[in-house]
Amino acid sequence: MTEAIHQTVREHYARAALNVLDGQVADCCGDACCGDGATTTAEALATADLYNSAEKASLPDAAVLASLGCGNPTAVAELRDGERVLDLGSGGGIDVLLSGRRVGPTGRAIGLDMTDEMLALAQRNAAQAGATNVEFLKGNIEAVPLPAESVDVVISNCVINLAADKSAVFGEIARVLRPGGRVGVTDIVADDELSADDRARRGSYAGCIAGALSFGEYEAGLREAGLVDVSIQSTHQVVAGMHSAIVKARKPD
């Protein structure tokens, strides 16, 4: 089951990367990640507008075209000079490039993705952007190829819902974070009353809907991994009972 989910997701996003390489705009997370629901929070950079004009103008066109997320985690992660940032499911690299700029030349932004085509696209975008403090690794977010306590911040943009084993993802986040490290994620989250079947009827797994956790499940998973100060805030509804949300947490000091 796990490998079948990985293969479905990998094929979906490989096609998206190839579309961008052909000069086309990639579909946002397949079904409805960036839906047209009304904004319900003042944190506008993490809602339907995603990235401001200055951010987009500073990036290679292909990085913007390949943006498949449901928010802008770099706008809510409070990145600081000199920090090491890990982006889970980095895709075409937009959040890695923006993170690299926020942490400055003494910091480091690392992207992790399992799709060869997305990694190739991200590396091309980084070269075009002249980014020297970023890197991209191949791997699954359930088994991060980094040492324990090696990053200050973990971000992710509409990717954890795609994971086959969410508890493993949360465990890996806690493992790689340094004490006091932070989580700043945007993701799709379901109302607590929706069953797994309800979610599947609203959209596909690769489209970021069927695999989404509920608010309660998401919070419980982060807490079970040992993270604290967990908050999950809806920004807008993407389909009935399914929300784009800002997720924050912290590893204890």
Does 42 have pLDDT greater than 50?
no
**Residue 193 DSSP label:** T
Which of 10-19, 93-102, 163-172, 202-211 has the lowest average pLDDT?
10-19
Which of 35-44, 96-105, 223-232, 243-252 has the lowest average pLDDT?
35-44
Which pLDDT belongs to residue 176?
98
Counting every residue written for the chain, the total comes to 253
Does 29 have pLDDT greater than 60?
no
pLDDT tens profile 124-182 = 999 999 999 999 999 999 999 999 999 999 999 999 999 999 999 999 999 999 999 99
- Is the whole model's pTM more than 0.75, yes or no? yes
> Side chain identity at 15, as an amino acid letter?
R
CB 91 within 8 A of CB 18: no
Q: Report the 10 Å Cβ neighbour count for 196.
A: 13
CB 122 within 8 A of CB 113: yes
> Side chain identity at 73, as an amino acid letter?
P
CATH superfamily membership of 2-250: Vaccinia Virus protein VP39 (3.40.50.150)
Q: Per-domain residue ranges for the chain?
A: 2-250
Which pLDDT belongs to residue 207?
78
